[in-house]
Structure 1
Amino acid sequence: MDNNNTMDLSQIPALQPPTGTVSNFIDPTNRGPTYVAVASIFLGLATVFVGVRLWARCIIQRSPWWDDLVCVIALLCQGAYCGLNMWLCLHGVGKHMWDVRALEFPPLIDPARAMADVTELSIGFTKLALLMFYYKLFWPNVATRIGSIVGMALIVPLYAILFFCFVFLDTAQTVPLNKGMAILNVLSDFYILILPITSVMQLHLERKKRLGLAALFSTGLFACIMSIVGAVYRFRFAEDGVDFTWGLLNVILVNTIECSIGIMCACLPLFPAVFGNPLLTMQWITTLRSLRNRLISSGSNRSRPSVNGYSRSKSNGEGDCFEMKPKNGPVDGKLHSASITATQTPASSAGSRGGIEVRKDFSVNSVDRMA
């Protein structure tokens, strides 16, 4: 065989360039370093946020729960996802395929498939951590509790199925799955965004505090926007993925930002417990711990209004004495004063009467004085 006729794959592009374009193996347009920089920043921020969450839960509040573990798993999956993408960007992803040597393209296929497998784990665990956090925080609200359970019951099996499909199916067979995953991401993101806001707006809080909490939980709106952008790129990539190395970067860049923001949103409500001043810290911890007891479903602590212009004062003791006094001066030209003696009983025996059982043999003393 004549060696002169042997093709040198190091000088042949992985894809024939368009008409009028010349392959550039020396200094081509390369967006790979941009991804490495953006992924490093967002992954670093997500790591800091998870660290703050663990500090607040384990050290300050001393109340860790399963959602903290799920959040850590999501961060580890996100780290693996970003690591694979960075390797891909250092070996050709981010360039046009006609600027990638034919010899360099085959080694990209297996890491790209592994990256696609990790995507479902990273996104799925992030959404699961958010739903578990809402489930614990808004437990007294039946609608939000059921909504969290339904969300978890749907997200866990769906993303598990997607994971195994991407592992065992051929690349050509995963094209419809990419479109389905894009739609699932958008719908689930908006579902998770709306779920806590509806509960927060029903709390018995001042309008300013309700709006503040709603704004806090609305930070996931940016993740929803990135999810929509990611869906657009997924559809484009699935329908026209000829320039593989160039189009793939758009998808992984948006997914990296979306998932990192999701992790940060799951940790953000615990930030004031660490970085706030002592007064703000105590108020925030108290707020988070008492949100479940301040929902509409718990209305047992409503204030008792005055009756017929009289206010009631209470003296502590084994027998509680309620003294009724005129709230706005004499009534009908006379000052009426009455005292009723009552005995406290356990709430279980008093039932719905608030733990106070009035004796039948009470006495009322009234003193009338002319104005």
Structure 2
Amino acid sequence: MSSPLPSDGSGGILHAGSSGRAPVETTGPAVEISGWFLVAISGLFLGLRVYCKHLKHRGLWWDDWILTTAWLALLADAIVNTICKPLGLGMHLRDIDPDNLSTLAFLGYLGASFSMLGAVWSKTSFALTLLRIATSKKMKVAVWSIILTMNLTMTTNVILNWVQCNPIPRGWNMAIPGSCWDPKINAYYGVFAGVYSGLMDIVLSIIPWAIVWNLQMKRKEKIGVAVAMSMGVFAGSAAFVKSSKILLVLDGDFTYEGYNLIIWGNVEVAVAIMAASVPVLRVLVREVRIATRRRYGQGAESASDDTTFHKKNFGGGTLHRSSTVMVTAGHQDRLLDSSSSSSSINWEIPHILDPQKAVPGRILQTQEITVQYHERDVTDTAGRMV
């Protein structure tokens, strides 16, 4: 993207006096409302993602922290747009107080920077997640290439916005003597960067299918996992729409027409955050489904019977349930790890359905198990606590 205000041939900001017309047409409220809505809905998905990690007693990794940083960039962009609204964001250039143009231009650069960085960071987070499950060296090299090229392309786009004028402050304050290059340079590069980012979203959405399809899982489960990890295609679609709006910087009324570019930039970031969170949220859906079955299905009756049995035979000890996931992985001749705690039991053991299909280092099967145990408060025949 280029300057958030229309430029003359040297890249400077065109000034216009207020027309004094009433009422003044503005798209500012649409920018503000949509921005805060996207912050809220993407924040909800991110919060549930973190909760699911906590639910499974897993710490946060680099992909979680980078995704959180992307959400903070989206939040910062919403704050900047809210500040810009009373200054004239969304109004026709002719209706804006000339004294506000420099401040509006500077904040426009700042908001655009947050938007672009939020987009690339959210996609980087998902790419890092793919690195954790990539099954081949070639696939990992491809993902790393996407991460590096996306960050280089988008970071360059951010830098170009700030250095298009000499001295730099002339980009948002035409009172400063100096010169600027042709605004078409930034606009066309912005289109290239946006389209490339969208294409990488599509590629990152395809990679999970190649990974999951080689696992020994039920086909229905494969499709469910792959679809959940392919939601980034919607972020790519938003990136394409945003790119189609970038050339509005070359029009003469960007402060009014540019709301499309701002909104779709925020949509791209928010959708990328939600798409990166969806695969983790499958854990929460599974937990809710199991809890529902226990309460309203046969699980509830079974739990009641089990509780009665333990109270009758073990002196009223409290019955505990703990749901966990058993992951079978690694080499077929090695026991990986076995650990337990008072609240959960996690087993990782080799389990091969077909030894002929066993491949060292690959996940062979995933199963959900339910462990029941109780606190025994009865004594043995020697009078000791068991």
- Taking structure 2 as the reference length, the TM-score comes to 0.64
For the pair 1:79 / 2:89, whether they are aligned, the reply is: no
Q: 2:325 aligns with which of 286, 291, 304?
A: 286
Number of the residue aligned with 2:257 = 247
Q: Summarize the Cα distance change of 1:31–1:274 in structure 2 as closer, same or farther, 3 Å threshold.
A: same
SS of equivalent residue, structure 1 residue 28: coil
Question: Counterparts in 2 of 1:28-47, with a 5 A limit?
Answer: 28-47=24-43
For the pair 1:108 / 2:97, whether they are aligned, the reply is: no
Q: Provide the aligned length of Structure 1 versus Structure 2.
A: 280
Q: 2:51 aligns with which of 41, 48, 55?
A: 55
Question: Counterparts in 2 of 1:179-328, with a 5 A limit?
Answer: 179-234=191-246, 236-238=247-249, 240-277=250-287, 280=290, 286=325, 301-303=352-354
Distance 2:234 2:323 in 1: 24
Q: Summarize the Cα distance change of 1:96–1:184 in structure 2 as closer, same or farther, 3 Å threshold.
A: same
Displacement of 1:237: 1.4
Distance 2:286 2:228 in 1: 15
Contact 1:121 1:159 survives alignment (8 Å)? yes
| Structure 2 gap ranges (5+) | 1-13, 166-170, 172-182, 292-320, 332-349, 361-386
| Structure 1 gap ranges (5+) | 1-12, 18-22, 294-298, 306-347, 349-371
Matched AA of 1:241: D
Q: 1:165 aligns with which of 160, 167, 182?
A: 160
Displacement of 1:121: 1.7
Distance 1:146 1:250 in 2: 36
Number of the residue aligned with 2:145 = 150
Distance 1:54 1:162 in 2: 31
Distance 1:246 1:145 in 2: 44
SS of equivalent residue, structure 1 residue 271: helix
Distance 2:67 2:143 in 1: 16
Matched AA of 2:284: V
- Shift >4 Å, 4+ stretches: 13-17, 278-285, 289-293
SS of equivalent residue, structure 1 residue 228: helix
Q: Summarize the Cα distance change of 1:114–1:284 in structure 2 as closer, same or farther, 3 Å threshold.
A: farther
Displacement of 1:279: 6.3
For the pair 1:140 / 2:135, whether they are aligned, the reply is: yes
Distance 1:248 1:292 in 2: 53
Q: 2:113 aligns with which of 106, 112, 117?
A: 117
Displacement of 1:133: 0.8
Q: Summarize the Cα distance change of 1:43–1:233 in structure 2 as closer, same or farther, 3 Å threshold.
A: same
SS of equivalent residue, structure 2 residue 135: coil
Displacement of 1:175: 2.8
Distance 1:117 1:128 in 2: 16
Matched AA of 1:168: V
SS of equivalent residue, structure 2 residue 100: coil
Displacement of 1:292: 9.2
SS of equivalent residue, structure 2 residue 229: helix
Contact 1:74 1:125 survives alignment (8 Å)? yes
Distance 1:248 1:232 in 2: 11
Number of the residue aligned with 1:4 = none
Contact 2:191 2:244 survives alignment (8 Å)? no
Q: Summarize the Cα distance change of 1:124–1:102 in structure 2 as closer, same or farther, 3 Å threshold.
A: same
